[in-house]
Amino acid sequence: MLNDLTDAERKALAQCRHAVLGTDRPLRLDCGVDLGPYRVAYQTYGELNAEKSNAVLICHALTGDQFVADRNPITGKPGWWESIVGPGKILDPARYFIICSNVLGGCLGTTGPLDTDPRAGQPWNLRFPVVTIGDMVRAQAALIDHLGIPDLFCVIGGSMGGMQVLEWAASYPKRVFSAVPIACAARHSAQNIAFHEVGRQAIMADPDWKGGDYRLHQTTPSRGLAVARMTAHITYLSEQALQRKFGRALQDRNALGFGFDADFQVESYLRYQGSTFVDRFDANSYLYITRAMDYFDLAGAHGGVLANAFRGTATRFCLMSFTSDWLFPTRESRAVVHALNAVAANVSFVEVDSDKGHDAFLLDEPEMFRTLSGFLKGAAAVRGLGSVS
Amino acid sequence: MAAPIRVDLQHIADMVEPGTRALDVGCGDGALLAYLMNFKRVDARGMELSQAGVNACVANGLSVIQGDADADLRDYPDAAFDYVILSQTLQATREPRKVLEQMLRVGKHAIVSFPNFAHWQVRLRLVFGGRMPETTSLPYKWYDTPNIHLCSIDDFRALCRTMGVRIERSIVLNNASRRINLPPLLANLIGEQAVFMLRRD
């Protein structure tokens, strides 16, 4: 299984907690394929209490990972949500048992296209079945079963993580006491799909991609993956933030170069974003996970009526969006709120005023922190969770 | 958590049976919601127009969404709540009658409070002062008031008759928000605000 990994990846996986699931009963994927056994890599923080009532599942975004609050072994960077998770933070391991797993199709230890197909004895690559947000959530549910947790106090995530939160609430309403989908939507829009398609085409147009078999040829489609990341990165920032940060400032020069080097700082910044991304992410994984997001349509899966996805739900919801997020704008969250109102669900919705665009959910946003803290406090009181001792 | 709430809100809270479901439309800072949750075990939700108000409510652990009475009540299913509450907001809605209809559809009971535009001070200021009335419950200048559909207590009763709505309870409050018991004609003169509990017939 671990045959064709780089040293860095090997090291990462060695450090990674994981469960091998689906040995007895494979995972039936939405595409009809039975997958099993499969690995789910995950991190946990804190302890499960005696009542098993304090478990929190964090769902990561497209290029996120399970290292929420500890150093990513590949990049060496701090956890991606240390502003929220950690001692004295809103999600405090002294109070909650916090779980985050790498998504199905991912490249940080959970089964995905870079693993070996046990039947064929060779890497899956593009022969890996196309997975959906629903499949990712079913794999997470299997992990939660494996950990002996009957139901989750909270499922929380932003962007694609928010999609998983919505899927959890729709598929396992009795196992989700509270749900916090942030900066997301109940379906991918045409524009969302369009941007992803540009990224995928960039990867597939790279001659080093080799039809997905680049490991076999000992190449890496770095240029394609970098362009995909550059395109996506623009969608994560607001126009104001980009303008404020870079404007038309020049990079290491006083005048235009009359060539195609990175004259502008914004070009240099994007090139840097692209080049660092290829060191930590697998190109085929990127194809699969973007596809999963494109396929997500919660209303479509429930007869075209989003409210049907939540009928009878007792879950407490808290949605958040950001004013300058044009990738998952506020109206997408509002559509979910309308659907939840239509079934008289317990729902809070806050639009946070921020000029940081879609990425705001990963950044220092005091209003988001206040909202999350208040919502969890209220939910914990109803759940009967004691305060931190 | 034991902080007292505004007297007019207390009158509304007293009409709500413990352990029920309530939606407070225009919930402001969430004072009534918090009271209903903490003291009456009510499953209380809120809707508030100002995003700052919503954010403050949610940060205090209350279930509140941004929305307004005119546009957003129609999302809810029939009889989703035992009570739909609209305090001091009816006069600021675009279509008060439609809002009342929606409240009575979504809630088994509707509780409405509003300032009485036939209060003697209002009458005096208009008749003898010749100016648009400004009182404690109507503190705005004519050009910046949110109150676009003011009515008197008798006007409201007449609307209920027209709509065929049953008035389950009604109380009239004086300037100090104390309850006063007077015959209707006098109540419409002395009452500064009124609280009605309604249901469909």
Chain B residues lying within 8 Å of A367, measured CB to CB? 55
- As a whole number of angstroms, the distance between CA A210 and CA A363 comes to 37
Q: Are A114 and A215 in contact (CB under 8 A)?
A: yes
CATH number of the domain to which B181 belongs: 3.40.50.150
Q: For the segment A233-265, what is each residue's pLDDT rounded down to a tens digit?
A: 999 999 999 999 999 999 999 999 999 999 999
| β-bridge partners, A155 | A57, A179
Q: Is residue B1 situated within a structural domain?
A: no
Closest CA of chain A from B196, distance in Å: 24
Rounded CA separation A169/A106 (Å): 22
pLDDT > 70? residue A387: no
Please state, rounded to an integer, the average pLDDT across all residues of chain B. Answer: 94
Contact A346 B45 (CB under 8 A): yes
**In degrees rounded to 5, what are phi and psi of residue B189?**
-100, -40
pLDDT of residue A8: 63
Q: What is the pLDDT of residue A28?
A: 97
Whether the predicted pLDDT of A388 surpasses 60: no
The fraction of chain A above a pLDDT of 90, given in percent, is 93
**Interchain contact, A341 vs B62, CB within 8 Å:** no
What CATH topology corresponds to A192-291?
Answer: Rna Polymerase Sigma Factor; Chain: A (1.10.1740)
Mean pLDDT to the nearest integer, B28-36: 96
Of B51, B59, B72, the CB nearest to A374: B59
Beta-bridge partners for B112: B86, B196
pLDDT tens digits along A199-216: 999 999 999 999 999 999
What are A379's two structure tokens? 């939910």
Query: Are the C-beta atoms of residues B16 and B83 closer than 8 Å to each other?
Result: yes
Range of the domain at B26: 7-200
Token duo for residue A120: 């064929």
How does the average pLDDT of chain A come out, rounded?
Answer: 94
Look at residue A13 in the predicted model and tell me its pLDDT: 66
Q: Give the count of domains, chain B.
A: 1
Ramachandran region of residue A322, left (φ > 0), alpha (ψ -120 to 50) or beta? beta
Residue contact A367–B54, C-beta within 8 A: no
What is the torsional sign of CA A387, B3, B5, B11?
positive
**Region A270-280: what's the mean pLDDT?**
95
Flag whether the pTM goes above 0.95: no
Q: What is the pLDDT of residue B184?
A: 86
CATH superfamily of A7-189+296-383: Alpha/Beta hydrolase fold, catalytic domain (3.40.50.1820)
Residues of chain A in contact with residue B76, where contact means CB-CB under 8 angstroms, are: 341-342, 344
Q: Could you report the per-residue pLDDT of B75-133, keeping only the tens digit for each? A: 999 999 999 999 999 999 999 999 999 999 999 999 999 999 999 999 999 999 999 99
Write down the pLDDT at residue A1: 32
What per-residue confidence (pLDDT) applies to A73? 86
- Please report which confidence band the pLDDT of residue B7 belongs to, taking 50, 70 and 90 as the band edges: confident
CA pair distance A83, A365, nearest whole angstrom? 9
Domain ranges of chain A: 7-189+296-383, 192-291
DSSP assignment of A123-138 equals E-GGGSPP--HHHHHH
Q: What is the pLDDT of residue A367?
A: 94
ipTM of the complex: 0.88
A30 has a chain B CB within 8 A of its CB: no
Q: Are A141 and A172 in contact (CB under 8 A)?
A: yes
Q: Which pLDDT score, from 0 to 100, does residue B201 have?
A: 80
Count of other CB atoms within 10 angstroms of residue B174: 15
Q: Please, which residues bridge with residue B111 across strands?
A: B85, B197
A375 touches chain B (CB under 8 A): yes
Query: How confident is the model over B140-196, as pLDDT tens digits?
Result: 999 999 999 999 999 999 999 999 999 999 999 998 889 999 998 899 999 999 999
Predicted local confidence at residue A15, as pLDDT: 67
CA proximity to A182, closest of A320, A279, A55 = A320
| Pairwise CA distance, residues B35 & B31, whole Å | 6
Mutate to test the interface with A, among B63, B68, B78 (most CBs of A within 10 A): B63
Q: Dump pLDDT digits (tens) for A2-27.
A: 334 566 666 666 668 999 999 999 99
d(CA A374, CA B62): 8
Whole-angstrom distance, CA of residue A65 vs CA of residue A310: 28
Residue ranges in A99-251 assigned as alpha helix (H) = 133-146, 160-171, 190-205, 222-236, 239-246
Secondary structure element (H or E) that encloses residue B152, with its range: none
Question: Is residue B89 one of the residues assigned to a domain?
Answer: yes
In this predicted structure, the answer to whether residue B2 has a pLDDT above a threshold of 60 is no
The terminus-to-terminus CA distance of chain B in angstroms comes to 37
Q: What is the pLDDT of residues A162-221, one digit of tens each?
A: 999 999 999 999 999 999 999 999 999 999 999 999 999 999 999 999 999 999 999 999
Q: What is the mean pLDDT of residues A271-290?
A: 96
DSSP per-residue string spanning A333-388: HHHHHHHHHHTT-EEEEEEE--SS-GGGGGS--HHHHHHHHHHHHHHHHHHTPPPP
Mutate to test the interface with A, among B1, B36, B55 (most CBs of A within 10 A): B55
Q: Is B1 on the interface with A (CB under 8 A)?
A: no
In a domain, B2, yes or no: no
* Beta pairing partners, B44: B22
Q: Report the pLDDT value the prediction gives residue B1, as an integer from 0 to 100.
A: 46
Token pair belonging to B190: 């002395």
